[in-house]
Amino acid sequence: MDFNLTEEHKLIRQSVQEFCDKYVCPIADAVDQEPRFPAETIKRLAEQDWLGIPYPVEYGGAGSDYLSYIIVLEELSRACATTGFTLECHTSLAEYPLFKFGTEEQKQKYLVPLCKGEMLGSFALTEPGAGTDAAAGTSSAVLDGNEWVLNGSKIFISNAPVAGVIVVFAMTDKSKGTKGISAFIVPAGTPGLQIGKHLNKMGIRGSLTAEVFLKDCRIPKENLLGGEGQGFKIAMMTLDGGRIGIAAQALGIAQAALDESIKYSKERVQFGKPIATLQAIQWMLANMATEVQASRFLTYHAAWCCDQGLPYSSQAAMAKLFASETASRQTDRAVQVHGGIGYIKGTKVERLYRDAKITEIYEGTSEVMRMVIAGGLLR
């Protein structure tokens, strides 16, 4: 068993760290506090070939593996969770279903510009009454001649305000439950597609999240993604991969919390010596480092399974469950190590504390992750 990353993976990590030092870290506080979407950074991500990392070169991607993508997400999130998540949503939630289920024509039309960074992608599954219970969705799609007519409303849709294309899920046959859900490609600007106001979130505040309204929104018949009734399968497979991405985001946040805690505990002097010399602090740091490393192994292993073509649903769920809860625990510890200053806006750990929580919620809550893992065990 070889735990070493390849030279390429190490270089990718190094290049992302250089990128973050130069472009991401200097604006991360402003992105959080104003808050604002880091559009200039996203443009640069495209220049670095990071907007389609695991997809083939012929579709505009970088032709790399999933682990490369995970490393990029981890390092970006370590610097700025908003930036990491914007990339994750684009790559895992919008590009993946197009790559996996799209026709050649759909890939050329939508996946290529997404991978090249000519536009961002979004994914619209959640509804006000249908979060974890996707089958409770009420958005509908009816075929009318050569067009699908979509109606309904979606909520918590990340990237929607800046997306060039949204993968939308809607019921084509309500009587069939999950087997009545279908996926559709809805380009921005389609009449009847309205983006609601940006939601004011606790963390990842620069990421744009909004409601999406569909009012007699007509799209060409050929914009059905996969077959009719395949939407639930597309959504679940998409979220399986996405969970590795969220695990990487959580890992980056947790690593940043550890970095900040080590640095601060060496600088902060109490009782005439740095607090890092106190066993109370050392134990916190030791626990943090152990859980961060365990998160990394779970996350990289899930990505490795994905790269090897092995089943990875349970591995992804375990990685997301552990890494996201680690991020929440360790950012809490990081604020504790910092004491009062950790509670003040502008201190990085204060931002990390708020950014961490969402990783336990989106793309499947911790409770759903446990259901997925248990389902795999008891199958």
Q: Which residues bind another protein (CB under 8 A)?
A: 7-8, 10-12, 14-15, 18-19, 22, 47-50, 53, 62-64, 68, 72
**Among 75, 95, 360, 363, which one carries the catalytic annotation?**
363
> Could you tell me the smallest distance in angstroms from the CB atom of residue 55 to another protein?
12
Q: Is there a contact between 164 and 114 (Cβ–Cβ < 8 Å)?
A: yes
Cβ proximity to another protein: between 5 and 373 the closer is 5
Distance CA 356, CA 336 (A): 15
> Could you tell me the smallest distance in angstroms from the CB atom of residue 161 to another protein?
27
Cβ proximity to another protein: between 111 and 327 the closer is 111
Return the bridge partners of 124, or none.
Answer: 168
Return the bridge partners of 363, or none.
Answer: none
> Could you tell me the smallest distance in angstroms from the CB atom of residue 8 to another protein?
6
Cβ proximity to another protein: between 15 and 336 the closer is 15
Residue type, 284: M
Angle between helix 313-338 and helix 366-377 axes, rounded to 10 deg: 140
Cβ proximity to another protein: between 10 and 370 the closer is 10
> Could you tell me the smallest distance in angstroms from the CB atom of residue 211 to another protein?
34
Cβ proximity to another protein: between 62 and 171 the closer is 62
Cβ proximity to another protein: between 63 and 164 the closer is 63
Cβ proximity to another protein: between 46 and 361 the closer is 46
> Could you tell me the smallest distance in angstroms from the CB atom of residue 34 to another protein?
25
> Could you tell me the smallest distance in angstroms from the CB atom of residue 19 to another protein?
5
Residue 363 among the catalytic residues? yes
> Could you tell me the smallest distance in angstroms from the CB atom of residue 30 to another protein?
21
Listed as own residue / partner, the contacts of 49-57 with beta carbons closer than 8 Å and 24 or more positions apart are: 50/16, 50/87, 51/87, 51/90, 51/91, 51/114, 51/115, 51/116, 51/117, 52/91, 52/95, 52/111, 52/114, 52/115, 52/116, 52/117, 53/91, 54/91, 55/95, 55/99, 55/111, 55/115
> Active-site residues: which are they?
363
